[in-house]
Structure 1
Amino acid sequence: MIAVIADDLTGAAELGGIGLAYGLEVELAMSVNPQSKADLLVISTDARSVSEPEAVRKMTEVSRVLRKMKPVLIYKKIDSVLRGHILAETRAQLKVLGLTKALLVPANPALGRTLVDGQYFVHGKPLHQTHFAPDPEFPVTDSDVLKRFKTTNEPVFVRNHSDALPDRGVVFGNVATLPDLQAWVERIDHQTLPGGGSGFFTALLDSRFPPKREMETPVALGNTRLYVCGSAFKESVDWVKKAVNSGYSVQYMPKDMMQPGALESNRWATEVVSSLQQRKPVIMAIDPVWVANSSAIQLRTVMAKTVRDVLNRTPVDELIIEGGSTASAVLREIGVTRLAPVQELATGVVRSKAIEKPALYITVKPGSYRWPPELELF
């Protein structure tokens, strides 16, 4: 078994989809099932959406249980642009797993994301000048990795794959080209916790399994589709606006539900249910005009509770969720803790069967990734 510990659901699903392409049996879960027989067990901790102490607690607990299962490899999936409580989590995991160093390779040239001389770029643009910069929970103010993770507690390094590596600490690997990823795979030893993005994970699987299979033609999706858009990325916001202009049913969160302490209301759920019963795709979204004065936690909590109310009142075949934190909140509310990935519709966009709700398929998509043709509306 190979085990992955991810800090958000979309990242977990992305690696699960990669495993499918290698012919692996994949289980995606919110907690560890010690009896799992999967070839690839992917655990989504949702650690990116909680406080640092809570993130450390979650990572410690999951790492401890997985260590007892003795997988052949444990991989730490982090955000490809380094959002989250990465250092604190990694140090806690090294302690639990009895390892001396971590090798984190977040960049993926296939997606235009590179780390060169410790500077992170997205399609050649410094990270702090991209659309990732104004992230509401983890804003990016510098593209220099060492400056972003400046610490006085334990050493942090940036190295090329040809450099000598330290015996202890956290190493971020420079990556400019795809061959750099494979070169980093060869630097992993028995005292190293490997981690990073999807590109490094793909290189790891390439070193262990036959070549990836060609993507199969997706089966026909269900008729009743509910899109839940919780991402604040400009591309996502623009996609929702385009849906409005194209005549699709877009149900924005009512303004009075965005404020802390807002009373529970079924009004939004009623509007969504009414639209779904017309057998047309429905999009739930947050109007960007009102987002600035609202808490991210409040918004995704209200979104998740409303999705739960909708599913309790009308059948939905396909639940399509954009944004990892939103996806985790929704799954908790609807009582889904285990997913069986069945299709990688596109890079990072994975469709899964909900184990606890057999009639429901759930697709999750990172906010910064493109919609695949199967889910695009126009």
Structure 2
Amino acid sequence: MLLGVIADDFTGASDIANTLTKGQGRQGGMVTSQYIGVPNYNAAAEIEAGVISLKSRSIPAAEAVELSLAALSWLKGQGCRQFVFKYCSTFDSTEKGNIGPVAEALAEALGVRGIVACPAFPATGRTVYQGHLFVHDKPLNESGMQNHPLTPMIDANIRRWLQRQTQGRVGLVPITTVRRGTAAIRSTLQKCADRGETLVIVDAINDNDLVRIGRVCAKAVLLTGGSGIAMGLPANFITSGLAAGKPRVFRGRQGPEAILAGSCSGTTRDQIAVHARDHPVLAISVDDVMGGRTTVSNIVAFVTANHGKSPLVYTSGTPEQVAEAYQRYGREIVTERLDRLFAETARQLVNGGVRRLVVAGGETSGAVAQALDLGDLAIGPEVSPGVPILLSRRREIALALKSGNFGSPAFFKEALLALAAGPSR
């Protein structure tokens, strides 16, 4: 294994695994595998890039650091020479962490400074300019992310936000420097390191900026960012002859299907509304779950009765409704109960024969993936930018794990069709 990624949630892990597998241009990408948590076995010999999926975005910072260092240790044991700490392209975190504390802990463990921090993902409208993060034409704190129930982003200046989470100073490579080319970026990063700046926000507005940054980081031990930061990395290994640049081959999965949605993002709520026009949907209220009126058996019965009709089950409410439920029952209690409900539902569905599974929401995806005993996952084609098909090598199922804000209005229908598609390259 050449490249190791530590991702702070499961949908983000599949996002960057897709970027590494796809690569850029005709060179192709790297042979990539995604792992559910830190494995207790060695990677297959042909794997060139390994992505470890952690559920560490919203847990206490000290626990996130401990998990991330364990992942680093395993990846080092597989022979990795470069590491990426992957977080969301909307920089999901609080003023206390977890992005800053984890990044600093990894940097200390590897003995490096002047580390790139770039969440930009232009394909989905996320860009960084003068250290400020934008979602399409809106600053991050006006994009809807300010209402996120777990990690409300109330400041678009991610340099300032990251500074609140870290012990050391945070540097900046502005877009004017990025556009001057690789030598200018490399020189500025070195100056940041010499000043003792461990993490450095690097501006990026389009894919060319990200590829240029990746080229600069060919020999960097550690990078941090969204999946876009990995766009230029496969070419570094392929050009050097270390990676083969093989195209991916996908064979679809046939059989019963299910969609589980636990995201409260506006995008996911719109996708549910579109899907409900032509397919059966089951809305689950938090009150019914907490009161024991909605159970795993109810949900499994609904899905089973609607096999072949693309059934969808969701708890997605507005941010205001989510906040009200948290206030009534307690945030940790609600999230734990819903995660457990979806996890056990998915386990029973797969054990009962479901072979195509679509999950929306990072926390929900993490709970489901951990419950299914999937082993390592092969990376298939994209359903939409940032959302690849995942194939379990241990179980005969195909999955699509979607971050809340990703996907077209008809995403759920498109995803189920993609999971069943025939051979493709």
Say whether the fold is shared (TM-score over 0.5): yes
Shift of 1:219: 5.1
Q: What is the correspondence of 1:200-349 to structure 2 with a 5 Å cutoff?
A: 200-209=229-238, 221-244=253-276, 246-259=277-290, 265-276=295-306, 278-288=307-317, 290-292=321-323, 293-294=325-326, 295-312=334-351, 314-349=352-387
In 2, the alpha carbon distance for the partners of 1:354 and 1:214 equals: 18
In 1, the alpha carbon distance for the partners of 2:368 and 2:305 equals: 20
Shift of 1:7: 0.9
Shift of 1:237: 0.8
SS at the partner of 1:375? helix
The RMSD of aligned alpha carbons is 2.8
2:173 equivalent to 1:159: yes
Change (3 A) 1:190 1:340: closer
In 2, the alpha carbon distance for the partners of 1:340 and 1:282 equals: 25
> What percent identity do the matched residue pairs reach?
23
In 1, the alpha carbon distance for the partners of 2:13 and 2:296 equals: 32
Determine the structure 2 residue equivalent to 1:90: 103
In 1, the alpha carbon distance for the partners of 2:222 and 2:43 equals: 23
In 2, the alpha carbon distance for the partners of 1:270 and 1:193 equals: 43
Does the 8 A contact of 2:82 with 2:221 survive in 1? no
Shift of 1:6: 0.9
Shift of 1:214: 8.8
Q: 1:181 aligns with which of 210, 218, 227?
A: 210
In 2, the alpha carbon distance for the partners of 1:56 and 1:86 equals: 9
Aligned length: 371
After superposition, what is the alpha-carbon deviation per residue over 1:211-261, rounded to whole angstroms, capped at 9, x for unaligned? Answer: 989998x755524210111211112112212322x24111222544443x8
Which segments of 5 or more consecutive residues in structure 2 lack a partner in the other structure? Answer: 23-27, 179-183, 327-333, 418-425
Shift of 1:375: 2.3
After superposition, what is the alpha-carbon deviation per residue over 1:303-324, rounded to whole angstroms, capped at 9, x for unaligned? Answer: 2222223333x21120111122
Does the 8 A contact of 2:255 with 2:353 survive in 1? no
Determine the structure 1 residue equivalent to 2:34: 28
Q: 2:79 aligns with which of 58, 70, 83?
A: 70
In 2, the alpha carbon distance for the partners of 1:157 and 1:137 equals: 27
SS at the partner of 1:48? coil
After superposition, what is the alpha-carbon deviation per residue over 1:68-110, rounded to whole angstroms, capped at 9, x for unaligned? Answer: 3331321221211111311100111112223234211211233
Structure that is richer in helix per residue: 2
SS at the partner of 2:50? strand
Which segments of 5 or more consecutive residues in structure 1 lack a partner in the other structure? Answer: none
SS at the partner of 1:133? helix
Determine the structure 2 residue equivalent to 1:194: 223
In 1, the alpha carbon distance for the partners of 2:316 and 2:230 equals: 36
In 2, the alpha carbon distance for the partners of 1:153 and 1:23 equals: 36
2:158 equivalent to 1:120: no
Does the 8 A contact of 1:105 with 1:200 survive in 2? yes
Change (3 A) 1:6 1:74: same
Q: What is the correspondence of 1:331-370 to structure 2 with a 5 Å cutoff?
A: 331-357=369-395, 359-370=396-407
Q: 1:375 aligns with which of 415, 418, 424?
A: 415
After superposition, what is the alpha-carbon deviation per residue over 1:318-365, rounded to whole angstroms, capped at 9, x for unaligned? Answer: 0111122211101222222421223323321211222332x2112212
Letter matched to residue 401 of structure 2: V
Determine the structure 1 residue equivalent to 2:423: none
TM-score when normalising by structure 2: 0.79
In 1, the alpha carbon distance for the partners of 2:266 and 2:103 equals: 31
